[in-house]
């Protein structure tokens, strides 16, 4: 039996090889996975032209996935340097990489990335449009925007961020409800500007059916972008954000009618006490579609530390239903991240995702922590290093300050609770001031 997309296959009762791989990775019954794919509650972004892909599932009941952003820009257009960052990200076993390239040899970088990456690849076609056509934003036609999306799909990208929810009606809500930070989404601001400059409807909204044609042909998952995501905690959960979310819910149903897989993108900057409610609102308004969040960043005062502000929000968001976390690095709001920034962002986001999986009782999520706790009780340093989320840093810290006694560290020495409780539980004496018997 033939099928067009993973959703189409699931609805026809077909178990694809991608479904089998994801089910095995997740320790999930493939029939349950198939049912949730058919309902749109899980997606498997897997472009038919991405031959090196090791598919992953995103959605209800699955491990929280993380994404890394990279790509070339006018100020930093070194393709080889970005490919080196991509290789490093893959070495950290990230599930997704988004190519946010906006200048120069974008197709060269994109095709090399797709060819080398077992992780799913995402893009934002509107970022590429100005450089692709060498035209000012105002002069790009609606057809040309769609053609860039088609090119990305042909190149093998697995999901595309499309800001189709910032239509004329959403824009009117934005104008009537003033914000401190306006529209902070790069793609959203470009589309809003195009609409204002041309007095036209958003081309991705007006020609949404043609966009769905492209996605259906290549099985590209639509990541419906949050043009009106809040860029400060002052603007969160406002009329613009909610209006756009309502539109995205309607667009989700239209995509599902064509068997096109959908994720919804979300905030943004947001105070901690609003995060859980926002997860519920998205799942309600967007019919259970997987939720992909940037952060949320829980305070605006920490440039240089936004991997931390984001990890706090990400852990809360994912434990309350978000399915996919976009990493944030210490360089957020400041510059293009370098390799060390990227590593810091990946580790922080992985911690947030894993903490959320524990809270969500994702099968097997607590086993890692259990094994680490066993190794700590045994003071098995090598085992602790092998289980650490960043073994290199753990080894470095230990090596920099070695204790007199191997069964302790320089924080506690012979007062180490683990060491002493092991001795007491074994009926042995504890000598803190003298050598052991």
Tell whether 226 is in a known binding site.
yes
Through-space distance between the first and last CA atoms of the chain, rounded to whole angstroms: 75
Tell whether 218 is in a known binding site.
no
Q: Which residues pair with 83 in a beta bridge?
A: none
Tokens encoding 191: 């589309």
Asked if residues 321 and 305 have their Cβ atoms less than 8 Å apart, the reply is: no
Tell whether 372 is in a known binding site.
no
DSSP 427: T
Closest CA to 315 of 351, 279, 283, 347: 351
Tell whether 152 is in a known binding site.
no
Tell whether 416 is in a known binding site.
yes
Asked if residues 153 and 215 have their Cβ atoms less than 8 Å apart, the reply is: yes
Tell whether 227 is in a known binding site.
yes
Tell whether 286 is in a known binding site.
no
Tell whether 56 is in a known binding site.
no
Tell whether 76 is in a known binding site.
no
* C-alpha to C-alpha distance for 117 and 33, rounded to whole angstroms: 24
Closest CA to 23 of 52, 47, 59, 53: 59
* C-alpha to C-alpha distance for 422 and 431, rounded to whole angstroms: 13
Tell whether 77 is in a known binding site.
no
DSSP 219: T
Tokens encoding 279: 């997860």
Asked if residues 98 and 342 have their Cβ atoms less than 8 Å apart, the reply is: no
* C-alpha to C-alpha distance for 177 and 190, rounded to whole angstroms: 19
Tell whether 133 is in a known binding site.
no
**What is the three-class DSSP state of 123?**
strand
Tell whether 18 is in a known binding site.
no
Tell whether 69 is in a known binding site.
yes
Tell whether 98 is in a known binding site.
yes
Angle at CA 329, nearest 5°, toward 325 and 335?
A: 130
Tell whether 269 is in a known binding site.
yes
> Among all chains, which residue has been given the structure tokens 């340097």?
81
Tell whether 373 is in a known binding site.
no
Instruction: Pick out the residues of the known binding site for Zn(2+).
Output: 269, 333
Instruction: Pick out the residues of the known binding site for substrate.
Output: 69, 98, 127, 163, 185-187, 226-229, 265, 292
Instruction: Pick out the residues of the known binding site.
Output: 69, 98, 127, 163, 185-187, 226-229, 265, 269, 292, 333, 409, 412, 416
Instruction: Pick out the residues of the known binding site for [4Fe-4S] cluster.
Output: 409, 412, 416
């Amino acid at each position: 039996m033939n099928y067009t997309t993973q959703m189409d296959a699931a609805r026809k009762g077909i178990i694809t090889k991608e479904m089998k791989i994801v089910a095995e990775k997740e320790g999930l019954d493939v029939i349950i996975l198939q049912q949730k794919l058919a309902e749109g509650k899980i997606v498997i972004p897997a472009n038919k032209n991405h031959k090196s892909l090791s598919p992953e599932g995103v959605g209800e009941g699955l491990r929280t996935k993380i994404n890394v952003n990279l790509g070339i820009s006018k100020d930093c257009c070194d393709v080889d340097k970005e490919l080196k960052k991509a290789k490093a990200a893959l070495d950290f076993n990230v599930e997704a990489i988004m190519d946010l390239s906006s200048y120069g040899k974008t197709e060269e970088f994109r095709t090399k990335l797709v060819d080398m990456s077992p992780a799913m690849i995402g893009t934002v076609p509107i970022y590429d449009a100005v450089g692709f056509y060498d035209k000012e934003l105002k002069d790009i036609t609606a057809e040309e925007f769609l053609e860039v999306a088609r090119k990305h799909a042909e190149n093998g990208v697995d999901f595309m961020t499309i800001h189709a929810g910032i239509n004329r009606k959403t824009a009117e809500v934005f104008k009537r409800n003033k914000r401190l930070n306006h529209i902070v989404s790069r793609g959203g601001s470009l589309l809003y500007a195009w609409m204002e400059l041309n007095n036209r409807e958003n081309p991705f909204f007006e020609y949404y059916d043609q966009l769905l044609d492209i996605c259906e042909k290549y099985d590209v998952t639509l990541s419906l972008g949050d043009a009106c995501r809040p860029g400060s905690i002052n603007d969160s959960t406002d009329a613009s954000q909610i209006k756009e979310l309502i539109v995205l819910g309607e667009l989700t149903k239209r995509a599902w009618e064509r068997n096109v897989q959908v994720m919804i993108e979300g905030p943004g900057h947001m105070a901690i006490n609003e995060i859980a409610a926002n997860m519920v609102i998205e799942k309600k308004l967007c019919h259970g579609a997987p939720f992909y969040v940037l952060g949320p960043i829980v305070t605006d005062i920490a440039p240089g530390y936004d991997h931390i502000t984001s990890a706090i929000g990400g852990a809360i968001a994912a434990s309350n239903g978000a399915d996919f976390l976009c990493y944030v690095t210490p360089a957020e709001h400041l510059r293009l991240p370098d390799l060390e920034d990227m590593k810091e962002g990946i580790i922080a986001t992985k911690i947030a995702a894993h903490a959320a999986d524990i809270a969500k009782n994702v099968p097997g999520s607590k086993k890692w922590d259990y094994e680490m706790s066993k190794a700590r009780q045994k003071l098995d340093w090598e085992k602790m290093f092998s289980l650490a989320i960043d073994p290199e840093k753990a080894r470095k810290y230990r090596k920099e300050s070695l204790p007199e006694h191997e069964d302790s560290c320089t924080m506690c020495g012979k007062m180490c609770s683990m060491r002493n409780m092991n001795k007491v539980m074994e009926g042995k004496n504890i000598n803190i001031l003298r050598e052991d018997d």
